[in-house]
Amino acid sequence: MLIDSPLREAHIAEFRRRLPEHVARLSWSKERVAEEQQRGLAATLAFAKAKSPWHRERLRDIDPATFAMRDLGTLPAMTKADVMDHWDAIVTDPRLTLAKGNAHIVAKPHHEAESLYYLDEYEIFATGGSSGKRGVFIWDWPEFIEIACVSCRYQARDESNESLTGRRCLAVIEAGETVHGSLFLFTVSPDPDAEVISLPAATQKDALVAALNQAQPTHINAFASAINLLAGEALAGRLTIRPRHISTNSEPLLPETRDQAREVWGVEINNVWGCVEVGLIGVECDAHKGLHLTDDLIITEFVDGDGAPVSDPEAVEKVLVTSLYNRAMPLIRYEVTDLAIPTSEPCTCGSPFPLLKDVRGRADDGFRYGEAIIHPLVFRTPLGQHPMVEEYQVHQTADGADIAIVTRGAVDLDRLTADLVADVSAAGLANPRITLSTVDALKRHAETGKLKRFIPLKA
């Protein structure tokens, strides 16, 4: 599925006008980046305090004009639960409500929404995230442009002129529905002459391989697990493509996936890390020394369990982010669920933006049933877009899955089960047995307290 409308075309045109300025930022000095962070923080705090009732109370004792970066630790952190519990008071446009946002999300997959842009200026997404707790988040018109520029600026800087000659085709293997931000974001190419095709990551393996063999993409942007699957198919001789550039996102990128891509295609993967809440927090350049933090647009704090900054990277227990460009839904010291490890080592590419050496997210591995592999997105889409499903945990069984859900209201379990059976069947597992049960709380790891959302069947 490709997003095609006059609004989309106008949006991408604005992105391409902004991209050269973003590429120029990669040559900024560290002092210039720090100045931009401070300027952005003051503007963000002032806007949030003026326009968001929830933030007005939270920030009542601070003066945005004099608030310094070093003072961030005095503010409490935000969580996804805060956002969902106070959604209508956090947003800055009174026309936006959680009820209307949920209605828009539910209407989109069924082609019942008037436009994929809510009120012609917002993109609204549902996400289960790596925690499995449902969230609803907004990108306004300028925010999407900034996120898209961040996703493409290193590629626009690093890609040689030689690779921009001849036929270019970008294959995007991401979400299949517009309830997810990946379909909006990663179908954008910095190359205006590139053909773009979109294939859902949940596509059955044989169909996905056939489509790629026919398209012969020169560039691929995909979930990390999709690249792992494709590399295996290439090693087996069934996938015969020669991509020149591969970018991964949304899931932990395993070392063996990098090794396989290098072996079968002779390319190094460019990984990105982010979340729908704030966009891309880290982006890998062609030097492949780590992921560059997006310090000009996002303040990232690495803290211990109590929220205090840590000097030892291995002591990081939480990551807090402050978006300096999200105006529709200000997120200030927002706790992301992935764990990232910073490094003080500079990158050889010359960028002033510091590096992450590792992102230790929760792996969303597909469930394997014989030859069939069911991508987590197959379960995530119907569960994550349902407005009454607050959290979920999927346990693989020999012939399907047992799914526990925490609800915030009435759920038609029979209909939701039927939707899941249909989706899993379409993804390649014949006659799956899917059971749904409501619980008060999901089971967490006894020692760490962490939640594993997709639990595979033990061998």
SS3 annotation, 71-110: HHHHCCCECHHHHHHCHHHHCCCCCCCHHHHHHHHHHHHH
Ramachandran category for residue 128: left, alpha or beta (phi over 0 → left; psi -120 to 50 → alpha):
alpha
Which pLDDT value is given to residue 232?
A: 82
412 phi and psi angles, rounded to 5 deg? -80, 95
Residue count of the chain? 459
Residue of 152, 196, 200 lying closest to 174 (CA atoms):
200
Which pLDDT value is given to residue 375?
A: 82
Is 415 a residue whose pLDDT tops 80? yes
Which pLDDT value is given to residue 365?
A: 54
- Cα(377)–Cα(383) distance, rounded to whole angstroms? 10
Sheet containing 334-336, strands listed edge to edge, beginning at the edge strand earlier in sequence: 298-303, 318-323, 334-336
Reading the block at residue 63, the tokens are: 């003066």
Is 145 a residue whose pLDDT tops 70? yes
Q: Give CA angle at 273 (90, 165), nearest 5°.
A: 120
Between 32 and 226, where is the model more confident? 32
Is 241 a residue whose pLDDT tops 80? yes
Q: Is 257 exposed, middle or buried (0-12, 13-18, 19+ CB in 10 A)?
A: buried
* 211-227 residue pLDDT tens: 999 999 999 999 887 88
* 342-390 residue pLDDT tens: 999 999 999 999 999 888 755 345 788 998 889 887 898 888 778 888 7
- Cα(287)–Cα(329) distance, rounded to whole angstroms? 34
Reading the block at residue 268, the tokens are: 């190094």
Element (H, E) at 185: helix 181-186
Between 5 and 148, where is the model more confident? 148
Q: Are 362 and 356 a contacting pair, CB within 8 Å?
A: no
Average pLDDT score over residue span 165-191: 86
Between 242 and 450, where is the model more confident? 242
Is 291 a residue whose pLDDT tops 80? yes
For residues 12-40, one letter each, b for 16 or more C-beta atoms within 10 angstroms of the residue's C-beta and e for the rest, the string is: bebbbebbeebbebbebeeeebeebbeeb
* 72-121 residue pLDDT tens: 999 999 999 999 999 999 999 999 999 999 999 888 877 777 788 999 99
Is 444 a residue whose pLDDT tops 70? no
Is 151 a residue whose pLDDT tops 80? yes
Element (H, E) at 404: strand 400-407
When mean pLDDT is compared across 258-267, 308-317, 411-420, the lowest value belongs to 308-317
When mean pLDDT is compared across 317-331, 384-398, 406-420, the lowest value belongs to 384-398
Is 449 a residue whose pLDDT tops 80? no
- pTM for this model (two decimals): 0.81
> Scanning the structure block, which residue is given the tokens 């039927």?
418
Is 452 a residue whose pLDDT tops 80? no
- Cα(421)–Cα(415) distance, rounded to whole angstroms? 10
End-to-end CA distance of the chain: give it in Å, rounded: 36
pLDDT band at 446 (very low <50, low <70, confident <90, very high): very low
Average pLDDT score over residue span 143-172: 90
pLDDT above 70 covers a percentage of the chain that reads 94
Average pLDDT score over residue span 265-290: 95
- Cα(94)–Cα(88) distance, rounded to whole angstroms? 8
- Cα(246)–Cα(284) distance, rounded to whole angstroms? 11
Average pLDDT score over residue span 239-259: 89
Average pLDDT score over residue span 426-433: 94
